[in-house]
Amino acid sequence: MIDQTAIITGASEGLGKSFAIELASRQINLVLVSLPATGLPELASFIRKNFEVKVNYLEIDLTLAESYPAIFNYLSDEQITAHLLINNAGLGNWSWFEDLNIGFYKKQIELNVITPVLLTRLFLAQADVSATSYILNVGSLGGLFVVPKKQVYGATKSFIRYFTKCLQLELHGSNVKISLLSPGGINTKPELLVMNNKLKGISKATIMEPGHVARIAVDGLLKGKKEIIPGVVNRMLVLLNSLLPAGVKEIIIRQRLATIIKS
Amino acid sequence: MKVLVTGATGFIGRQLTLSLAMQGYDVKALCRNTDHPYLIEHKNIEPVTGNILYRQSLGRAMQGCQQVYHTAAMAKMWCRNPDDYHETNVVGTRNVLEVAAGAGVQKIVYTSTCGVWGPTVKHPMSENDPRIAGFPIAYERTKYLAELEVQNFAKQGGIYIVTVNPSRVYGEGPVTESNTVGKMVSAYLRGKWHFIPGNGEQVANYAFLTDVVDGHLAAMNNGTSGERYILGGEDISFNDFFKTVHQVSGKQHRLIHLPLKTIEFYSHFEKLKSQLTGLRPFFLPEFAERLKYDQKYSSNKAITQLGYRITPFTEGMHKTINYLQQA
């Protein structure tokens, strides 16, 4: 088998870091992309030492327009062809719309929408047509359900859902496989570790560990699955969502909203 | 000089109070109950009633203290109230730091754990390596969150603070609930330990208590503020662990290799049992998962920068078994 290389955005922490470990354990070389001062050099050297794969890294801000070509210029300078693109970087929020400023939403839309679209475009332009290329777009179950306090985040993930599904049609029959990952909650950042641990019942059952999600996602991606929903409980929720009439769903969400406002 | 030790009845804390007292420090030993059987009596040790969750009691305990060793933590495998981990380890640590800053304390050593790294891949982990797994184990999760509190505190400057990360600590001390090695060895000596998990080749790092206590003192005196130091020992597999216990004690008991799948299945049963009955589980799924991985750590930074020394495992186990057989 030829040497494969994966680009992972948002690789320094959480799910991105788990993707790095998972792909490295499958002997895939890595190009890690994250903000400066997020521990990328240490992660890269750890992976090189422990998994014996090639690891390059770029410490850049993906909300800057010059960053997108910079990644691929770097690859061509290093004579690396990427076979996998993991569009993982993203910015979440759980707050009322009027509680955050316009700068936050601009950054959130740039990172969650513009970045994956442009990187996908540039990735396809450099892809080796004789080998299979893989793109994984990290969406969210939030792209499927309307969840209060996730207005912009959920909308960006709906965008990713449409974008991915449409590209799957366009690229059908080509040598490019593109998957949508729709996870529920994942125990990643410190704030989430605290918040998720306070959940009870079904909400708690939807939360998964990043390493587990990454393993399921990479399995699905390499098999060419169109949509990957990790976890039995999450798959049941999606099924339920498709069965319930719109009116019933609205009642449930309104009731949820009422309890959120009270708390 | 006056120093405060939190968690003075704990496995590390009690030995630390004794070591400090023998070196001539005036040691204030913070404990929730000053009648605790593990509290050491010594002319230089002054028991102080207090609780790291009550800031007032911390303020009283820290009066006149120049140094604080914060060893208190919730290190058990299981708590009836799962919020106790966060309360004790995260909120408690925040309290200690903030009260110390107000009380004029000059230096703090915070006792963390190698559990903030958890599983390892091929080579032993050192201080700059990343954590590769998630945080399903409450102890590790909350000790990680507590380290973030310490890092933020260190960034503010002003007070010297060093973090030490002991690995799995064993040695001459009481078989407390969080003293995993003590529980295993004393059960083996009584012929009540029957299993080796999986093929027994999984490796963990075992730190001898005396080394860890010396490492705390060295961190206080020779560390660099804001840094972390792994205080470990030798990397030993389960097979070698029990081989050593057998050779040192002269007692041979048959041990059965229990497949990891069986342990995993049983752990789910135990979890359900504890959820339904509120009884202490013998084992939990997050620990069964961990048995698939090595936990190897390198103490090189502490060795070169603090003069940390590692007692050979056989020698340490010899002393431990002597202690347990006399107790």
pLDDT single digits (tens) B94-138: 999 999 999 999 999 999 999 999 999 999 999 999 999 888 899
A46, A50, A211 member nearest B133 (Cβ) = A211
Mean per-residue pLDDT, A53-79: 95
Q: Is any Cβ of chain B less than 8 angstroms from the Cβ of A51?
A: yes
Lowest mean pLDDT among A5-14, A112-121, B42-51, B275-284: B275-284
Task: With beta carbons under 8 A apart, name residues in chain B contacting A194.
Answer: 86, 145
Looking at chain B, how many residues does it have? Answer: 327
The pLDDT value given to residue B228: 97
Q: Do residues B231 and B302 lie in contact, with contact meaning Cβ atoms separated by under 8 Å?
A: yes
Strands (E), A13-155: 29-34, 55-59, 84-87, 133-138
Task: With beta carbons under 8 A apart, name residues in chain B contacting A43.
Answer: 130
Mean per-residue pLDDT, A101-127: 96
Query: What would the two tokens of residue B253 be?
Result: 């008991």
The pLDDT value given to residue A259: 65
The pLDDT value given to residue A145: 77
Task: With beta carbons under 8 A apart, name residues in chain B contacting A187.
Answer: 134-136
Q: Which 3 state secondary structure label does DSSP give B6?
A: strand
pLDDT band at B199 (very low <50, low <70, confident <90, very high): very high
The residue among A248 and A220 whose pLDDT is bigger is: A220
Tell me the average pLDDT of chain B: 94
Rounded Cα distance, B175 and B204, in Å: 19
Instruction: Say if residue A1's pLDDT is above 60.
Output: no
Nearest-Cα residue of chain A relative to residue B133: A211
pLDDT, tens digit (0-9, with 9 covering 90-100), for B149-166: 999 999 998 899 999 999
Lowest mean pLDDT among A17-21, A152-156, B70-74, B275-279: B275-279
The pLDDT value given to residue A189: 73
Q: Does the beta-carbon distance from A17 to B132 stay under 8 Å?
A: yes
Q: Is any Cβ of chain B less than 8 angstroms from the Cβ of A43?
A: yes
Rounded Cα distance, A121 and B34, in Å: 68
Write phi, then psi, for B230 (nearest 5 degrees): -75, 125
Mean per-residue pLDDT, A213-222: 96
Kindly state whether residue B109 falls inside one of the protein's structural domains: yes
Looking up tokens 């498709």, which residue turns up? A242
The pLDDT value given to residue A252: 72
Kindly state whether residue B272 falls inside one of the protein's structural domains: no
Kindly state whether residue B265 falls inside one of the protein's structural domains: no
Residues 148-187 of A with CB under 8 A from B: 187
**Residue B224 domain boundaries:** 2-179+204-235+295-312
Q: Does the beta-carbon distance from B134 to A49 stay under 8 Å?
A: no
Q: Is any Cβ of chain B less than 8 angstroms from the Cβ of A119?
A: no
Rounded Cα distance, B317 and B245, in Å: 7
Percent over 70 (pLDDT), chain B: 100
Rounded Cα distance, B60 and A116, in Å: 56
- Segment (H or E) for A174: none
- Give the other-Cβ count within 10 Å of A181's Cβ: 28
Task: With beta carbons under 8 A apart, name residues in chain B contacting A21.
Answer: 132
Query: What would the two tokens of residue A112 be?
Result: 């969650």
The pLDDT value given to residue A260: 61
Instruction: Say if residue A102's pLDDT is above 80.
Output: yes
A42, A197, A211 member nearest B128 (Cβ) = A42
Mean per-residue pLDDT, B194-210: 95
pLDDT band at A263 (very low <50, low <70, confident <90, very high): low
Lowest mean pLDDT among A144-153, A192-201, B181-190: A192-201
Q: Does the beta-carbon distance from A197 to B141 stay under 8 Å?
A: yes
The pLDDT value given to residue A237: 81
The pLDDT value given to residue A208: 87
Q: Do residues B171 and B208 lie in contact, with contact meaning Cβ atoms separated by under 8 Å?
A: yes
Percent over 90 (pLDDT), chain B: 83
- With 0-12 CB in 10 A as exposed, 13-18 as middle and 19+ as buried, what is A173? exposed
Tell me the average pLDDT of chain A: 90
> What are the DSSP calls for B55-100, one per residue?
HHHHHHHHTT-SEEEE------S--SSTHHHIIIIIIHHHHHHHHH
| ipTM for the whole complex | 0.83
Q: Which of A46, A53, A192, A199 to mutate to test the interface with B (most CBs of B within 10 A)?
A: A46
Kindly state whether residue B153 falls inside one of the protein's structural domains: yes
pLDDT, tens digit (0-9, with 9 covering 90-100), for B216-228: 999 999 999 999 9
B123, B128, B134 member nearest A187 (Cβ) = B134
Strands (E), chain A: 5-9, 29-34, 55-59, 84-87, 133-138, 176-181, 227-228
pLDDT band at B306 (very low <50, low <70, confident <90, very high): very high
- Residue B133 gets the label, from left (phi > 0), alpha (psi -120 to 50) or beta, of beta
Task: With beta carbons under 8 A apart, name residues in chain A contacting B141.
Answer: 193, 197
Query: Order of strands across the sheet with B45-49?
Result: B45-49, B26-31, B2-6, B67-70, B107-111, B160-166, B228-231
The pLDDT value given to residue A249: 74
Instruction: Say if residue A140's pLDDT is above 70.
Output: yes
Domain count for chain B: 1
The pLDDT value given to residue A261: 64
Residues 3-42 of A with CB under 8 A from B: 17-18, 21, 39, 42
Looking at residue B322, its amino acid is N
The pLDDT value given to residue A256: 65
Q: Do residues B262 and B238 lie in contact, with contact meaning Cβ atoms separated by under 8 Å?
A: no
pLDDT band at A202 (very low <50, low <70, confident <90, very high): low
Mean per-residue pLDDT, A223-241: 88
Task: With beta carbons under 8 A apart, name residues in chain A contacting B134.
Answer: 18, 187, 209-212
Percent over 90 (pLDDT), chain A: 69
Mean per-residue pLDDT, A109-137: 95
B123, B135, B136 member nearest A50 (Cβ) = B123
Task: With beta carbons under 8 A apart, name residues in chain B contacting A50.
Answer: 121-123
pLDDT band at B284 (very low <50, low <70, confident <90, very high): confident
Q: Does the beta-carbon distance from A17 to B130 stay under 8 Å?
A: yes
What's the sign of the alpha-carbon dihedral B265, B269, B275, B281? negative
Residues 181-210 of A with CB under 8 A from B: 187, 190, 193-194, 197, 209-210
The CATH number of the domain holding residue B132 is: 3.40.50.720
Mean per-residue pLDDT, A206-210: 85
Kindly state whether residue B151 falls inside one of the protein's structural domains: yes
Kindly state whether residue B255 falls inside one of the protein's structural domains: no
Kindly state whether residue B165 falls inside one of the protein's structural domains: yes
The pLDDT value given to residue A245: 82
Q: Do residues A218 and A19 lie in contact, with contact meaning Cβ atoms separated by under 8 Å?
A: yes
Q: Do residues A30 and A8 lie in contact, with contact meaning Cβ atoms separated by under 8 Å?
A: yes
Rounded Cα distance, A18 and B133, in Å: 7
- Cα distance from B225 to chain A (closest Cα, Å)? 20
The pLDDT value given to residue B142: 95
The pLDDT value given to residue B76: 87
Instruction: Say if residue B176's pLDDT is above 60.
Output: yes
Q: Which of A8, A49, A197, A208 to mutate to test the interface with B (most CBs of B within 10 A)?
A: A197
The residue among B282 and A98 whose pLDDT is bigger is: A98
Taking the domains of chain A in order of start, what are their residue ranges?
5-262
The pLDDT value given to residue A186: 85
Q: Does the beta-carbon distance from A190 to B136 stay under 8 Å?
A: no
Rounded Cα distance, B138 and B242, in Å: 28
The pLDDT value given to residue A242: 82
The pLDDT value given to residue A149: 85
- Segment (H or E) for B11: helix B11-22
H and E: helices and strands count for chain B: 12, 12
Asked if the A5-262 domain carries CATH number 3.40.50.720, the reply is yes
The pLDDT value given to residue A34: 97
Looking up tokens 């804001």, which residue turns up? B226
- Cα distance from B259 to chain A (closest Cα, Å)? 22
Q: Which of B81, B132, B297, B301 to mutate to test the interface with A (most CBs of A within 10 A)?
A: B132
